Amino acid sequence: MLHLQNYIGGQLVPPVSGQYLASVEPATGQVFAQIPDSGAEDVAQAVQAAEAAFPAWRRLPAEERGRLLVRIAELIERDLDRLAYAESQDNGKPVSLARTVDIPRAASNFAFFGTAAQHFASETHFQEGVALNYTVRHPLGVVGCISPWNLPLYLFTWKIAPALAAGCCVVAKPSEITPYTAFLLSELCIEAGLPAGVLNIVHGTGQAAGQAIIEHPAIKAISFTGGTKTGEHIARTAAPMFKKLSLELGGKNPNLIFADCNLAEAVATSLRSSFSNQGQICLCGSRIFVERSIYEPFKAAFLEGVAGLTVGDPQESGSRQGALVSEAHLQKVLKYIALGHQEGGRLLAGGQRVQVPGRCADGYFLQPTVFEGLAPNCRVNREEIFGPVVTLTPFDTEEQVLEWANGTEYGLAATIWTRDLNRAHRVAHALHSGIVWINTWLHRDLRTPFGGMKNSGVGREGGLEALRFFTEAQNVCVKL
- Dist. CA 478–CA 135, nearest whole Å: 11
Q: Within a 10 A sphere around the Cβ of 125, how many other Cβ atoms?
A: 11
Judged by CB under 6 A, does residue 210 bind ligand NAD? yes
- Dist. CA 367–CA 69, nearest whole Å: 40
Judged by CB under 6 A, does residue 408 bind ligand NAD? no
Task: Considering the complex, state which of residue 150 and residue 274 has its C-beta at the smaller distance from ligand NAD.
Answer: 150
Binding mask 170-199 for ligand NAD (x = CB under 6 A): ---x-xx-----------------------
Q: Which stretch binds ligand NAD (CB under 6 A): 113-121, 201-209, 271-279, 416-424?
A: 201-209
> Residue 14 phi/psi, 5° resolution?
-75, 165
CA–CA distance from 406 to each of 130, 284, 442, 478 (Å)? 49, 16, 20, 48
Per CB under 6 A, the list member of 452, 459, 462, 463 interacting with ligand NAD is 452
Q: Which stretch binds ligand NAD (CB under 6 A): 17-25, 230-238, 291-299, 372-380?
A: 230-238
Judged by CB under 6 A, does residue 226 bind ligand NAD? yes
- Give the alpha-carbon dihedral of 192, 198, 203, 205, to 10 degrees: -150
Per CB under 6 A, the list member of 23, 225, 273, 326 interacting with ligand NAD is 225
Judged by CB under 6 A, does residue 87 bind ligand NAD? no
**DSSP string computed for 18-70:** --EEEEEETTTTEEEEEEE---HHHHHHHHHHHHHHHHHHHHS-HHHHHHHHH
Judged by CB under 6 A, does residue 38 bind ligand NAD? no
Burial tier of 55 (Cβ tally within 10 Å: 0-12, 13-18, 19+): exposed
**DSSP string computed for 293-323:** GGHHHHHHHHHHHHHT--B--TTSTT-SB--
> Residue 438 phi/psi, 5° resolution?
-110, 120
Judged by CB under 6 A, does residue 162 bind ligand NAD? no
Nearest in space to 145 (alpha carbons), one of 43, 56, 66: 43
CA–CA distance from 451 to each of 251, 429, 432, 454, 474 (Å)? 10, 16, 12, 10, 25
Judged by CB under 6 A, does residue 230 bind ligand NAD? yes
Per CB under 6 A, the list member of 149, 183, 275, 336 interacting with ligand NAD is 149
Residue nearest to ligand NAD (CB): 206
Judged by CB under 6 A, does residue 146 bind ligand NAD? yes
Per CB under 6 A, the list member of 150, 246, 255, 319 interacting with ligand NAD is 150
12 Cβ contact list (under 8 Å, min separation 6): 5, 6, 186, 187, 190
- Which helix (H) or strand (E) segment holds residue 343: the answer is none
Binding mask 377-396 for ligand NAD (x = CB under 6 A): -------x-x----------
Task: Considering the complex, state which of residue 176 and residue 313 has its C-beta at the smaller distance from ligand NAD.
Answer: 176
Judged by CB under 6 A, does residue 211 bind ligand NAD? yes
- Measured at the alpha carbon of residue 72, what is the angle toward residues 69 and 74, in degrees to the nearest 5? 115
Nearest approach in angstroms of CB 423 to ligand NAD is 27
- The catalytic residue among 87, 176, 248, 461 is 248
Task: Considering the complex, state which of residue 188 and residue 214 has its C-beta at the smaller distance from ligand NAD.
Answer: 214
Task: Considering the complex, state which of residue 57 and residue 149 has its C-beta at the smaller distance from ligand NAD.
Answer: 149
Number of residues that bind ligand NAD (CB under 6 A): 32
Side-chain-facing half-sphere of 419: CA atoms under 13 Å: 6
Annotated catalytic, 248?
yes
Q: Which stretch binds ligand NAD (CB under 6 A): 68-76, 169-177, 187-195, 302-310?
A: 169-177
Contact by Cβ (8 Å): 294, 263:
yes
Query: Which residues 248-307 are close enough to bind ligand NAD by CB under 6 A?
Result: 248-251, 282
Contact by Cβ (8 Å): 109, 440:
no
Judged by CB under 6 A, does residue 36 bind ligand NAD? no
Task: Considering the complex, state which of residue 87 and residue 384 has its C-beta at the smaller distance from ligand NAD.
Answer: 384
**Active site amino acids:** 248
Binding site for ligand NAD (CB under 6 A): 146-150, 155, 173, 175-176, 205-207, 210-211, 214, 225-227, 230, 233-234, 248-251, 282, 384, 386, 412, 452, 456-457
